[in-house]
Amino acid sequence: MSTVTPTLIRPTAPARPTPPQDDAASAAVRARGALRLIACGSVDDGKSTLIGRLLHETQAVFEDQLAALSHDSRRFGTTGDDIDVALLLDGLEAERQQGITIDVAYRFFSSARRAFMVADTPGHVQYTRNMATGASGAELAVLLVDARKGLLEQTRRHAAIVALLGIRDVVLAVNKMDLVGWSAARFAEVDDAFRSFAAPLALRTVTAIPLSARFGDNVVRVSAATPWYGGPTLLQHLETIEIADAADAPLRFPVQWVSRPHADFRGAAGTVASGRVVVGDPVVVAASGRTTRVARIVTMDGDLPEATAGAAVTLTFADEVDVGRGDVLVPPRERPTVTRRFSADLVWMTDRDAAAGDRVLLKIGTASVPATLLRVVDRLDLGSLDRVADDRLMLNGIGRVHVETALPVAIDPYAENRATGGFILIDRATGTTAAAGLIVAPLDAARDVHPQADAVDPDVRAHLKAQQPLAVWLTGLPGAGKSTIASLVERRLVALGHHTMVLDGDNLRRGLNADLGFDPRGRAENVRRVGEVARLMVDAGLIVLVALVSPFRADRAAAAALFPAGRFMEVLIDAPAETCRSRDPKGLYAKAESGRIVDFTGRDQAYEPPRDPALVIDTATTTPDVAAERLVQAILARVRPLPATALDGAQL
């Protein structure tokens, strides 16, 4: 054991370390703003103590806080009569009682050369989701390792998550070196083990620092206990490292909401996620392909000539463009991919295993769309970092998946742009976060295919037909009467001068969807294709009557999401299974009973009725003519011609 006497913290005002010589390089570092870093690693490796030491020795702790900390240290601390700086971060009562971190604690501090925002994240495996949350906004990771224990499974898991989340600069903080006698050999052993493990992670820099967070060695001041170490202290390294600037990436501006405080102002409000935007710049709405130029950049403090990543602004445009929440504004020559299918790496965060067919809500930027896990490709083995073929992901597992969204979304590979490459998956039943995801690549040729803006607005087509277009989605058990009612409704609407089209499930199964089966995946694709066709017809100004069993709510919700607000109407054609079976107009129930048809809804597959349909028609007690008339009246209430003012600014 070294004879060097460590310096313990006493409740007195700390002395600020001598600031380094200011120069052009340090001025450039300061100009980039606060460095966002995360402290992570396995439980009890000293993360909170390390950050508490940084806060204390950079004078980020006020005297009244020190007094309270002194009292709390006697009650909860683990350092005897000395102040336990870990309590600066462990603010929850449960954290102090157990001596662990549970929630993510964010703290700000600064030195003479740089400002910092640090996230202290939990080490316990059950709080991995909290760690991933903290890492998602960080630019650098301080990965702590207990010098006595070396690399543990949770250390490897955190390192893998750090790399997946796009953090390319890592500090390997080999802590508690005082407990191994300040052994240079042990430090080198831990350093070599980590570099060997992390080689496949493609980290840009790995800087190993031997330290003792409790006593402050090599945290802010150089330690006399490590004459064999010639590198920087932790603070020196954090002050000088250069991190890639999000402002250097292409512009990505997710629209949070459309601001229209009065009739003379309409702007797209949001935060510049990456890149910069300048007044006069051409921009494209990624999903629609509509182009315009930025007319103004508006803030509460007045207009700006330009805005860079992180700025919350409202943009106005030279032309009237259709833009709403979830849209992404981008440069015409640096567009993201707009697609519905992509591969991604997931950190799975719920007790229920992830598997193919899971239906979730995907949130990327300001857009939220229904999505389906098409396939679990593999999982990451945390011991070897090898990818192992698997069809499920368990709690805290990391693996590659294929995802399909109900609507096209604007994406970039996470390695190229974190702003449009990261997403979360939300459990539709509970509303909890199921996974954090990082986009790898589109699954089709969409990378180089970009939407072409319509030459004529859908509203103009609707105006020419003197009706508001509408998709009327009739769902119900086989034999409930969907096709019969759709045919009767169309005849009456046409007689009234309306422009219509019926999309009948059986007819589509004979042509467009002849290649699909009746298993859940085949049914989902059937609904998707019908929804896409119906959307095109609605854009053409038609009233579209869809007669489709479509047994699963998630599939119908995905179809509904294709349409603008007010252009989709879900109608339940309701009849008891016994009634439908007794009718059996096409002999399908009899074939299902004899085994000649499988996956038959109402027998082999459950039917999920709508929870909140626009209309319910009970065909067991209502004649087809009466049912059709009810539906016609409901449709007519929604398809009145657009007022002429609604066409203001429409593209002709």
Q: Tell me which of 70, 111, 223, 550 is the catalytic residue.
A: 550
More confident residue, 43 or 580: 580
Examine the domain organization and report whether 273 and 415 are in the same domain.
Answer: no
Active site residue 550: yes
Counts for the chain of helices (H) and strands (E), in that order: 16, 29
Q: Give Cα separations from 54 to 12, 47, 78, 238, 285 (angstroms).
A: 15, 11, 18, 11, 44
Residue 453, in any domain of the structure: no
C-alpha triplet 586, 592, 597: angle, nearest 5°: 90
Q: Give Cα separations from 66 to 13, 350, 529, 535, 608 (angstroms).
A: 8, 39, 64, 63, 60
Cα 497 to Cα 495: distance, rounded to the nearest angstrom: 5
Residue 10, in any domain of the structure: no
Examine the domain organization and report whether 62 and 181 are in the same domain.
Answer: yes
- What's the pLDDT band for 429 if we cut at 50, 70, 90? confident
Examine the domain organization and report whether 145 and 203 are in the same domain.
Answer: yes
Examine the domain organization and report whether 87 and 203 are in the same domain.
Answer: yes
- 221: its two tokens: 């001041």
- Taking residue 517's Cβ as centre, other Cβ atoms within 10 Å add up to 13
At 340-350, the pLDDT tens digits run: 889 999 889 88
Cα 553 to Cα 558: distance, rounded to the nearest angstrom: 9
Report the share of the chain in percent with pLDDT over 90. 42
Residue 649, in any domain of the structure: no
Given a cut of 90, is residue 563 above it in pLDDT? no
Examine the domain organization and report whether 476 and 597 are in the same domain.
Answer: yes
- What's the pLDDT band for 174 if we cut at 50, 70, 90? very high
Task: Give the pLDDT confidence score for residue 294 in this predicted structure.
Answer: 96
Residue 636, in any domain of the structure: yes
Examine the domain organization and report whether 512 and 603 are in the same domain.
Answer: yes
186 Cα distance to chain centroid: 40
Mean pLDDT of 24-29: 45
Question: 582-611: string of b/e by CB count within 10 Å (b at 16+)?
Answer: ebeeeebbeebeeeebeebbbbebebeebe
Highest mean pLDDT among 58-62, 160-164, 491-495, 562-566: 491-495
Asked if 483 contacts 581 with a C-beta cutoff of 8 angstroms, the reply is no
- What value does the mean pLDDT of the chain take? 82
Q: Give Cα separations from 491 to 485, 487, 561, 632 (angstroms).
A: 10, 6, 28, 10
Could you identify the residue written with the tokens 């992404």?
328
Examine the domain organization and report whether 159 and 287 are in the same domain.
Answer: no
Given a cut of 50, is residue 2 above it in pLDDT? no
Examine the domain organization and report whether 476 and 623 are in the same domain.
Answer: yes
Examine the domain organization and report whether 229 and 255 are in the same domain.
Answer: no
Mean pLDDT of 146-153: 92
Task: Give the pLDDT confidence score for residue 84 in this predicted structure.
Answer: 52
User: Annotated binding site for ATP, which residues?
Assistant: 476-483
Comparing 40-49, 339-348, 436-445, 483-492, the range with the smallest average pLDDT is 40-49
Mean pLDDT of 201-210: 91
Mean pLDDT of 212-229: 92
Given a cut of 60, is residue 215 above it in pLDDT? yes
Residue finishing a domain among 445, 473, 490: 445
Comparing 252-261, 271-280, 603-612, the range with the smallest average pLDDT is 603-612
Examine the domain organization and report whether 300 and 268 are in the same domain.
Answer: yes
Task: Give the pLDDT confidence score for residue 18 in this predicted structure.
Answer: 35
More confident residue, 192 or 34: 192
Nearest partner of 371 among 535, 129, 555, judged by Cα: 555
Asked if 539 contacts 494 with a C-beta cutoff of 8 angstroms, the reply is no
Task: Give the pLDDT confidence score for residue 60 in this predicted structure.
Answer: 58
- Taking residue 35's Cβ as centre, other Cβ atoms within 10 Å add up to 20
Examine the domain organization and report whether 292 and 391 are in the same domain.
Answer: no
At 289-307, the pLDDT tens digits run: 889 999 999 999 999 999 9
More confident residue, 360 or 641: 360
If residue 625 lies in a helix (H) or strand (E), which one and from where to where?
Answer: helix 624-636
- What's the pLDDT band for 195 if we cut at 50, 70, 90? very high
Host domain of residue 377: 342-445
Residue finishing a domain among 286, 306, 330: 330
Residue 450, in any domain of the structure: no
- 195: its two tokens: 């570099």
If residue 159 lies in a helix (H) or strand (E), which one and from where to where?
Answer: helix 153-164
- What's the pLDDT band for 450 if we cut at 50, 70, 90? low
Task: Give the pLDDT confidence score for residue 461 in this predicted structure.
Answer: 85
Highest mean pLDDT among 23-37, 245-259, 632-646: 245-259
Question: 348-380: string of b/e by CB count within 10 Å (b at 16+)?
Answer: bbbeeebeeebbbbbbbbbbbbbbbbbbbbbbb
If residue 97 lies in a helix (H) or strand (E), which one and from where to where?
Answer: helix 93-98
If residue 169 lies in a helix (H) or strand (E), which one and from where to where?
Answer: strand 169-175
What 8-state DSSP symbol labels residue 619? T
What 8-state DSSP symbol labels residue 122? -
Asked if 29 contacts 114 with a C-beta cutoff of 8 angstroms, the reply is yes
Task: Give the pLDDT confidence score for residue 469 in this predicted structure.
Answer: 94
Could you identify the residue written with the tokens 């046409």?
494
More confident residue, 521 or 63: 521
DSSP-based three-state secondary structure for 269? strand
At 373-403, the pLDDT tens digits run: 989 999 988 777 788 999 999 988 889 999 9
Report the share of the chain in percent with pLDDT over 70. 82
Task: Give the pLDDT confidence score for residue 364 in this predicted structure.
Answer: 92
Q: What is the CATH number of the domain that holds 427?
A: 2.40.30.10
Given a cut of 50, is residue 102 above it in pLDDT? no
At 528-561, the pLDDT tens digits run: 999 999 999 999 999 999 999 999 988 898 888 8
Residue finishing a domain among 216, 244, 272: 244
Question: 430-463: string of b/e by CB count within 10 Å (b at 16+)?
Answer: eeebbbbbbbbbbbeebbeebbeeeeebbbbbbb
- Residues contacting residue 79 through CB under 8 Å, at least 6 positions apart: 8, 73, 214
Question: What angle, 0 to 180 degrees and rounded to 10, lies between the N-to-C axes of helices 128-136 and 153-164?
Answer: 30
Helix runs in 367-424, H state only: none
Residue 8, in any domain of the structure: no
Residue 9, in any domain of the structure: no
Could you identify the residue written with the tokens 């300001």?
366
Task: Give the pLDDT confidence score for residue 12 in this predicted structure.
Answer: 31
Examine the domain organization and report whether 438 and 502 are in the same domain.
Answer: no
Could you identify the residue written with the tokens 């890149």?
275
Task: Give the pLDDT confidence score for residue 287 in this predicted structure.
Answer: 87
Helix runs in 242-395, H state only: none
Cα 331 to Cα 586: distance, rounded to the nearest angstrom: 54
Split into its structural domains, the chain has a count of: 4
At 84-94, the pLDDT tens digits run: 554 555 443 33
- 338: its two tokens: 């707009």
Nearest partner of 48 among 108, 88, 102, 92, judged by Cα: 88
More confident residue, 12 or 315: 315
Task: Give the pLDDT confidence score for residue 160 in this predicted structure.
Answer: 84
270 - beta bridge partners? 255, 313
Task: Give the pLDDT confidence score for residue 600 in this predicted structure.
Answer: 83
- Residues contacting residue 488 through CB under 8 Å, at least 6 positions apart: 624, 625, 627, 628
- What's the pLDDT band for 193 if we cut at 50, 70, 90? very high
- 481: its two tokens: 């009467």
C-alpha triplet 445, 447, 342: angle, nearest 5°: 75
Mean pLDDT of 170-183: 95
Q: What is the CATH number of the domain that holds 631?
A: 3.40.50.300
Task: Give the pLDDT confidence score for residue 139 in this predicted structure.
Answer: 87
Residue 2, in any domain of the structure: no
Task: Give the pLDDT confidence score for residue 302 in this predicted structure.
Answer: 92
Given a cut of 90, is residue 106 above it in pLDDT? no
